[in-house]
Amino acid sequence: MSEQTIAAMRTTSEIVKLARQRLDQNAWDYLTGGAETETTLLRNRQALDEIAFRPRVLNNVSDIDLSREFLGMKMRLPVFLAPIGGLQQICPNGGGLPALKAAEDFGILSILSSVTEPGMDVAKAEVKSPLGYQLYVHGDDAWVFDILDQVQALGFVAFCLTVDTAIYSRRERDLIKGHTPRGRQRAGLDRDYQAKLDWDQIDRIRDKCKVALVAKGIATAEDARLAVEHGIDIVYISNHGGRQLDHGRGAIAVLPEVVEAVDGKAKVVVDGGFVRGTDIIKAIALGADAVGIGKLYGWGLAAGGQEGVARVLDILEEEMQVSMGLLGANALDKLTPAHLYRDARPVRAPSVTSGFPHIKFPDFDY
């Protein structure tokens, strides 16, 4: 499909449908599926759908500003590309690099996963805008410190530790097919170290970390408080897109208690099921500093490489512009919980496609 055709797509539904057509079943399930019964994955969507808007009228919304300062960067949207491992399975020609370039051109931050291509050296050589680096701990302190030294020498602005993968989950879509994702096939990685990761090691890393330290995978107020006590700069709410612990809460349902627990002592970001501009607005109104998108840009990458990710971001911006205006807010700092009603009944059952109701996706749910 040509760049012009991708550019002509007016909805993310069309882009996701094209991604489904282009990905084989293994790649599709890896990107789109979750753990065991996929209850956490579905609750990510359900929790967003349980929040309705309370719009205000007769406010001047002729000029709407969606930008936000984050990690020293003025981002065009309060959105960043969350780290996704194994993007070479989604985009064999370039792995995650086309997505990083699309984000740079658009004007938002990306976090590069340690288990995707390209490596950190290539990424920093190709992308001059700020980047974060995410690490799964597969070695001892010396191993972690060596990687941290490289991250800091290369000029990454954040060092992100994923903390919700002490045990690799049972992802039944893969198990049924006997498929092992490429990220799990990498040699020389001792996964016992991820299970041993604890707050004492966080302290040792904090002592040597000169950039923003991020804990990704926080899901309770209790751990958010501990994160602040141990010097975490960015508390990152995430349930791994529903791909780790099954029967967890939707990510946005966790956000209010974490914002309250952090009490301004750290930044708070969140990912998990965010596929619409309205989803981003809800999280900002509840106190998130920025919102990560994962599957959404993965689908864009699968559909059209760099152009697909760019088009996803353009549509997301347009959706936010429209919804902000209709809410009566002309800037992100005008959004508050008063714009939300948090006990609405969803109008449809959650699914991996319920954010895209206008197009039918054959075999989409499996």
Of 74, 96, 92, 70, which Cα lies nearest the Cα of 83? 96
Of 326, 248, 214, which Cα lies nearest the Cα of 281? 326
Q: Largest Cα–Cα distance of the chain, in whole Å?
A: 61
Q: Residue 363's CB: how many other CB atoms inside 10 A?
A: 8
3-state secondary structure of 37: coil
| Residue 240 a catalytic site member | yes
Catalytic residue among 138, 179, 230, 240: 240
Contact of 281 with 318, CB cutoff 8 Å: no
Q: What is the CA radius of gyration of the chain?
A: 19
Q: What is the dihedral of CA 13, 16, 22, 25, to 10 degrees?
A: -120
Contact of 164 with 219, CB cutoff 8 Å: yes
3-state helix, strand, coil in the chain (%, to 5): 45, 15, 40
Q: Which residues form the catalytic set?
A: 240
